[in-house]
Amino acid sequence: MAERAVDNAGENNATGAEQDVQAILQELQVHQIELEMQNDELKLANEELELQQLRFSSIYNLAPIGYFILNSSGVVTDVNNAGLTLLETGKMGLASKRLIQFVVPVHTDVFYRFYHEMSIRRARESCQLTMRSQTGREFHAQIEGIAIKAALGEQPQYYVAIIDISESIEARRALAETKDRLQLSLEASAAGTWELDLETMEFYLDEFNRNILGGMHGNGFDRGYKNFINILHPEDREMVDHCFRNSINFDKEIDVVTRIMNAEGGLSYASIRGHVIHEAGNVKRLAGIIIDITEKRRIEEETIKLKRNQQNEISLATLTAEENERRRISDSLHDSVSQLLYGIKIKLGLLNSGRPLNNEQQDINLLIDQAIAETRNISFELAPSILTDFGLPATIEELAKRLSSSKMHIQTRATGFHQRPDIVLETSIFRIIQELLNNCMKHSGASQVKIEIKKNKHIEIHVKDNGVGFRYKENERAVSGSGLSSIKNRVNLYNGKLDVQSAPGKGTAVNITLNF
């Protein structure tokens, strides 16, 4: 009996050990499955990261602005060609480096604030600071950036654009120094005084002022106030006369800028300053100075032009990047998705070779045809290859055919395009007309739209519909939200003009002139 009990106990112990081993094996299998799932998730995350980096490289490598991708520690994980040129280094020189290492020490706190604001607000941030390239060259930089989190629980990536604004900063500094020197020179000059006798209305000028105003000896200046006013630019006479009369009647200071046609037929600018003088026992009179500010005005206009050109360059770079991305997606749709749909259609035809299609198969064929047509339309709207191959008139005609329907007929006419403009201008014109037609289809309720494009010394675009119309001045802000703002941006790139004529019940006419 004792021996049997011992044997039973041994068997029970063996059975318990086997159960423990099986439980451990099951637990190991569960861990193995969990590890495989984690490996799959890690693989997907790496593939997504590689896709983002590929997209970054394909879109931004040709852009003239430096673009950087940073991780949560501020380390540069990717950069375009312009960024490498800006920092005067190669990708190996940026390996494992933080972008702040290229910021001069006195501005690191500015970068830290910029980076911190990006991380907590998840909104676009900007700052200006000084950076130092790999070779030691220092430059002023405008930095724009935003933090984007790809998925829940993942660390964000920071997309940063850097623009070298050294020339703009130096131009403003030079302008400020020129203004200071000019102001000191003018204030130190003893010449340039004038006086108006309010009893006789005689206008007294010294020799310096006569020279500023174009040599009034030759113009027969007889010291009359009206004669002085008539020497000024015709568009400025009423304004200057109003300032003088306000000063006389209300004892106000005179501070006005006017234009003068000089003896050579050129245009000069003069600043007229003065005030009423009261002296006991004497007649009240006006007195002051006239300063030639032609050179100052020229520098200011050149600065404004420089700023406008820089803004246009940035806008053009942004539009070019957008068009490149549109073209990439369009090519993908045309070369991959469309080809796959054609392949499916051919395979279905082979499966039913020599036999009539049943209703379900006919429905499938119809759906595939619709998918192919829709893919082609989307590809055309994104980046029409016909624009590159055959030019703007053919592209606008094709756009009209695609958008015309039984409810809305679109007519097109293009003249003067014997010699093609550059592709960037053609693309801008196409986008303008495309946006105008989209707005017309959404809001106008028109049955007829006429598009006319003329090319001579300028590009003229006329789009007119017979729709419901609207009060443009009252609704200009709302209309801008529906696409007119993007049209204005493109028009401004070419120093063009935009004119919208519309009224309720009278349709809408949009007239655009572009300089090229």
The one-digit pLDDT tens for each residue of the chain (516 residues) are: 545 544 555 555 556 666 665 666 666 666 666 666 655 665 665 566 555 555 555 556 767 789 999 998 899 988 988 899 999 998 888 888 999 999 999 999 999 999 999 888 878 899 999 999 999 999 999 999 999 876 666 788 899 999 999 988 888 887 777 766 655 555 545 447 788 888 888 888 877 777 766 654 444 566 789 888 888 889 999 999 999 999 988 888 999 999 887 666 678 888 888 888 876 666 678 888 888 888 888 888 888 888 888 877 787 777 777 777 777 777 777 677 777 777 777 777 777 666 676 777 778 878 888 887 778 777 777 777 788 888 899 989 988 988 888 889 999 999 998 888 888 888 889 889 988 998 888 888 889 999 999 998 899 999 999 988 887 765 555 444 446 778 888 888 888 899 999 888 888 999 999 987
* pLDDT of the residue at 216: 47
Q: In whole angstroms, what is the distance from residue 192 CA to residue 182 CA?
A: 15
Q: What CA dihedral angle connects 348, 354, 358 and 362, to 10 degrees?
A: 50
pLDDT of residue 356: 72
Could you tell me if 465 and 446 are in contact, meaning their C-beta atoms sit under 8 angstroms apart? Answer: yes
Distance, CA of 255 to CA of 293 (rounded, Å): 13
Whole-angstrom distance, CA of residue 315 vs CA of residue 31: 54
- Inter-CA distances, 245 with 142, 233, 251, 286, 395, Å: 48, 18, 9, 11, 60
What's the pLDDT score for residue 443?
A: 84
Q: Is the pTM of the predicted complex or chain greater than 0.75?
A: no
Which of 134, 131, 136, 156 lies closest to 146, judged by CA?
156
What is the reported pLDDT for 6? Answer: 47
Q: Which of 330, 438, 441 is nearest to 387 (CA)?
A: 330
Phi and psi for 79 in degrees, rounded to 5? -155, 145
pLDDT for residue 41: 61
Per-residue model confidence (pLDDT) at position 241: 94
Residue-level pLDDT at 218 = 45
Task: Give the per-residue pLDDT at 74.
Answer: 92
DSSP letters, 238-290, are: HHHHHHHHHHHHH-PPEEEEEEEE-TTS-EEEEEEEEEEE--TTS--EEEEEE
Nearest to 453 by CA among 494, 491, 488, 415: 415
Q: How far apart are CA 76 and CA 87, in angstroms?
A: 12
| pLDDT score at 142 | 93
Max Cα separation, the chain? 150
